[in-house]
Amino acid sequence: MNGQELAEQNYRAWRTWVEAKDDRDFRALAAGGKLKRAEIVRECGFSRSVLVQNPRIKQELAEVESGLRDRGILAGPTAPSSLDPEGEAEPLRQRGQMSAAVVGSQLKDLEQRVQTLREENNELRRQLRRYEGWERHLVGTGRLPR
């Protein structure tokens, strides 16, 4: 995979990540008027350098943070605090809580894959038993059964 393909793959991961987030998720990622870069790269699955070296991601990250400041999600010049609409501070999230939906989805996919593989394995074992019988006959007689 060349650099352009990797950049495109990272950009698709970034877009998927951004589109999956709502204001609560972004609020949980807020720290010092910015989104936590370590959490972003961990959840997107690419290295931290992508955030500064991929120009599309770098620009969109700045735009996302600016939009969050405008809506009062991130602290900054236009939003002094990250309060919810009722005026109460949002509790800090537990580590890994935000990716619970992603993990749940992946778990469901993996469980389905395991079930499919079990069914395939059972079918292959059935075929193996059949061919083992043919092999015993060939070894014993030197001829294929008709």
Q: According to the model, what pLDDT value does residue 145 have? A: 66
Instruction: Give yes or no for a contact between 65 and 18, defined as CB atoms under 8 angstroms apart.
Output: no
Q: How confident is the model at residue 119 (pLDDT cuts 50, 70, 90)?
A: very high
pLDDT digits (tens, 9 = 90+) for 65-93: 898 888 888 887 544 444 444 444 445 55
Domain that residue 133 falls in: 99-146
Note whether 114 and 69 are same-domain residues.
no
Note whether 53 and 120 are same-domain residues.
no
Q: What angle do CA 12, 14, 19 make, to 5 degrees?
A: 95
Note whether 57 and 115 are same-domain residues.
no
Q: According to the model, what pLDDT value does residue 2 have? A: 82
Higher pLDDT, 8 or 77: 8
Using a cut of 0.85, tell me whether the model's pTM lies above it.
Answer: no
CA dist 16 and 60 (Å) reads 13
Q: What is the mean pLDDT of the chain?
A: 81
Phi, psi of 76 (to 5 degrees): 170, -165
Q: Which tokens sit at 129?
A: 């038993």
Pure H helices in 21-142: 23-28, 37-44, 50-53, 55-70, 100-141
